[in-house]
Homo-oligomer: A and B are copies of this chain.
Amino acid sequence: MADEIRVQKEDLTRFCVAVFEKLGVPRHDAEVATEVLVVADLRDKGSHGVARLARYVEGLKAGLMLPTDHSKVVREAETTALLDGGKGLGQVVAVKGMDLAIAKAKAHGTGFVTVRNSNHYGIAGYYALRAVEHGCVGISMTNAAPLVVPTFGRDAILGTNPIAIAIPCEGEPFLFDAATSVVPRGKLEVYDRLGKSMPLGWAVDARGKGTANAREVLDNLIKRRGGGILPLGGEGEEFSGHKGYGLALTVELLCATLSASAFGGMTYVDEHSANVGHFFGAIDVAAFRSLPEMKREVRQYLDALRSGPKAEGHDRIYAHGEKGFAFERDCLKRGIPLGSKVVDSLKRIGGDLAVPWPG
């Protein structure tokens, strides 16, 4: 990008930690929240990275998020726990939840933790990968503000509700991490900025009919006039949009009803409580078979998959996660690329809070 600025990971981290601290977040928690944001940028998920820092600043200032951690386990058994997030930073609460699931998996084979009363937790995959570090399969899901329209419906009442599943592998782990919508909102914003028509199958208008007009959809979403983004599989049932809708709904039910947090349509209705819910799971591979053997086999299988014959016009088959890890390696060498608008917003935040922008 022409207007792209490269920032070193350490500099960006130091800046974000200082911003969180200025807003009353204790050092350790500031580091946790920052890490999840910066890792998103490192893995080419910029929409969930430091570009969102402004939302966290606003959330902390408005009292939607509390700077100090009031989370507590409200129910716990051998392999399960329900954590009340205490309106804390989503990242801080989510790390606690995932780490509790991992500890249970290491002790008993499997561990599952649900979280209520939390906030936006960043990239789902971050938490799933924590489990891999302990030789576990990691599962991470969250519900989210409503943007997605159910099949045959007209109103956005489901979040983009991501599913992340990380699986140990020799070398880099396998990481599936995807919203259950056909595209993220950020994609509509790109088309809007460029004044381009979207492909039909990404979104519907206020009548629930397919539209190519990104501006109209974004506008309708903000004003809650109806319409929104379609689930994976698109409009209706022809390309199995009902499957993407079902995945979104499954995530919603696992996150919201096992934790008694709000459903997608009801998150963020109170300006002082988002009440987002998360679902975390860890499954210890060693409970089933030798971890090194399993990791070797996953690697061999993914290698075979990647080396299979390619579609005409393509020269590479990817396994999930590898694009992000390659992007990270490049960022660690050359710095993290940030758009000039993002840098401007960070500088503004820094200016307001007397945190100097690096360099």
Contacts and interface: CB of A to CB of B under 8 A. Distances in A.
Interface of A: 75, 77-80, 82, 108-112, 114, 137, 149-155, 157, 165, 167, 174, 176, 178, 182-183, 199, 201-202, 204, 207-209, 226, 232-234, 238-240, 242-244, 246-247, 249-250, 252-254, 256-260, 263, 265, 283-285, 287-289, 293-294, 297-298, 301, 304-305, 308-314, 316-320
Number of copies of this chain that the complex holds: 2
Nearest to A263: B301
Contacts of A239: 182, 199, 201-202, 233-234, 239
Contacts of A314: 152, 208
A224 to B, nearest CB: 12
A244 B260 contact: no
B301 A257 contact: yes
B80 A247 contact: no
Contact of A258 (B137, B178, B265): B137
Contacts of A249: 174, 176, 305, 319-320
Contacts of A247: 176
A319 to B, nearest CB: 7
Give me the 3 closest cross-chain CB pairs, A-B, nearest first: A208-B311, A80-B287, A80-B109
17 contacts: A79-B110, A110-B112, A149-B311, A151-B317, A151-B318, A154-B309, A157-B308, A174-B250, A176-B249, A199-B238, A232-B240, A232-B243, A233-B239, A246-B320, A257-B298, A258-B294, A259-B288
Contacts of A285: 258
Contact of A305 (B157, B233, B250, B301): B157
A37 to B, nearest CB: 23
Nearest to A178: B243
Residue among A109, A182, A260 facing the most chain B CB atoms (10 A cut-off)? A109
Contacts of A152: 310-311, 314, 316-318
A258 B288 contact: yes
A243 B248 CA distance: 13
A154 B109 contact: no
Contacts of A165: 250, 254
Contacts of A243: 178, 232
Contacts of A154: 308-312
Contact of A150 (B167, B232, B265, B308): B308
A210 to B, nearest CB: 9
A278 to B, nearest CB: 13
A204 to B, nearest CB: 7
A322 to B, nearest CB: 12
A346 to B, nearest CB: 29
Contacts of A240: 178, 182-183, 232
Contacts of A250: 165, 167, 174, 176, 320
